[in-house]
Amino acid sequence: MSKEKFQKGLDGIIEDIQKMGAHALDMLTDAVKAFKEQDVALAESVYARKERLDFLDRDIEERALRLLTLHQPMAGDLRTIATILKMDTYLNRIGRYGKAIAKDAIAMADRPHVAKLVLIPRQAKLVRGMIEDALRSFTENDLSYIEDIADRDDEVDAIWDSVFRESITYMMEDAKTITPFTHYLMVSRHLERCGDHACKIAEKVHYKVTGEHIEIK
């Protein structure tokens, strides 16, 4: 494979991993909105988008591995492909968590919310920003977007802890709240895991840019 064909192939994969990131993020965002607003149609649309997510996952992986096999890239190009292969996995999981939240939205659609959903939308906004900035950092090779991602992840974790404590309190006081608060717990937990995946993407982007491995805690 010529250098020109390799670069064209790599550029195409980079474009598609950006599309996959936007797709996974939209699934997650719409799932949270569907949960908050008890919008079954929107939740079902998130389910339908899972097929596109899986296609991008398989297609990007196959093309990236083909480039590795045929061209055996070195240095920066090799790090870029390695990063894409990891991002592919993390973005797929983020989209899957969106689908899981959509499932909670459908389950809660015929039940009134028993608490003000203040913390969960706040948590979702933080997570969305983390994912957006990790993707922007990848695209622009600019680590400034993810400098404070660990601090933001700490806030996401703190919200999960608060939701957990509040949910347990309500569930112990009134057994009728067990079902809705179980769904609140699941949604918050899914968002917390998406925050972790955003950090993992940020770790790989740092490696792509600098060649150094880091761990974001």
CA 123 to chain centre: 13
Q: What tens digit of pLDDT does each residue of 111-155 get?
A: 888 878 889 999 999 999 999 999 999 999 999 999 999 999 999
CA count, 13 A, side-chain hemisphere, 12: 15
Amino acid sitting at position 193: R
What phi-psi label fits residue 2: left (phi over 0), alpha (psi between -120 and 50 degrees) or beta? beta
Question: All domains of the chain, ordered by start, with CATH?
Answer: 3-210 (1.20.58.220)
pLDDT reading at 1 higher than 70: no
Alpha-carbon gap, residue 7 to 84, rounded angstroms? 15
Question: Residues 3-31: what's their mean pLDDT?
Answer: 95
How would residue 4 be classed by pLDDT, with cut points 50, 70 and 90? confident
How would residue 71 be classed by pLDDT, with cut points 50, 70 and 90? confident
Given a contact cutoff of 8 angstroms between Cβ atoms, the answer to whether 214 and 203 are in contact is yes
Tell me what pLDDT residue 114 has: 86
State if pTM tops 0.85: yes
Q: What tens digit of pLDDT does each residue of 170-195 get?
A: 999 999 999 999 999 999 999 999 99
Q: What tens digit of pLDDT does each residue of 99-123 get?
A: 999 999 999 998 888 878 889 999 9
Q: Which residues contact 110 (CB under 8 A, 6 or more apart)?
A: none
Tell me what pLDDT residue 145 has: 98
pLDDT reading at 198 higher than 80: yes
Among residues 113, 84, 97, the alpha carbon closest in space to that of 156 is found at 97
Tell me what the pLDDT averaged over the chain comes to: 95
Alpha-carbon gap, residue 153 to 116, rounded angstroms? 23
The burial class, CB within 10 Å (0-12 / 13-18 / 19+), for 84 is buried
Tell me what pLDDT residue 189 has: 98
